[in-house]
Amino acid sequence: MTTDEIRNLLAHLLTGAVGKNEDYWLNLIGPVTALPIIDAPRSNWRIEPKGKPAELAAIEKAAEVVREAHPYVPSPRTGGRAR
């Protein structure tokens, strides 16, 4: 999955579980950032959500569920030269 697909999946889950619409949740989730796998062996993506405490809790819970099924996204290039 890509970072955009992870973000869309989170918004879809939250819409079904909590309500509102997917655009609402996409705004609160913010971007999904890919990390180098070597620096994040458990899961190489992160989010920095915003919102009220209940919204943040719902987003974090959804992120845990998604992370279980999709812990990795394509890793960003680390600046090394291709050979």
What pLDDT, on a 0 to 100 scale, did the predictor assign at position 40? 84
What pLDDT, on a 0 to 100 scale, did the predictor assign at position 39? 86
36 is a domain residue: yes
Average pLDDT, the chain: 92
Total domains present in the chain: 1
HSE-CB of 6 using CA atoms within 13 angstroms: 27
Q: Tell me the pLDDT tens digit for each residue of 31-68.
A: 999 999 888 889 999 999 999 999 999 999 999 999 99
**Domain enclosing residue 12, as ranges:** 3-69
46 is a domain residue: yes
Q: Comparing 4 with 75, which gets the higher pLDDT? A: 4
β-strand partners of 47: 32
Residue 80 has pLDDT above 90, yes or no: no
Q: Residue 20: left if φ>0, alpha if ψ -120 to 50, beta else—which one?
A: left
The pTM (predicted TM-score) of the whole model is 0.89
Distance separating alpha carbons of residues 52 and 75, to the nearest angstrom: 30
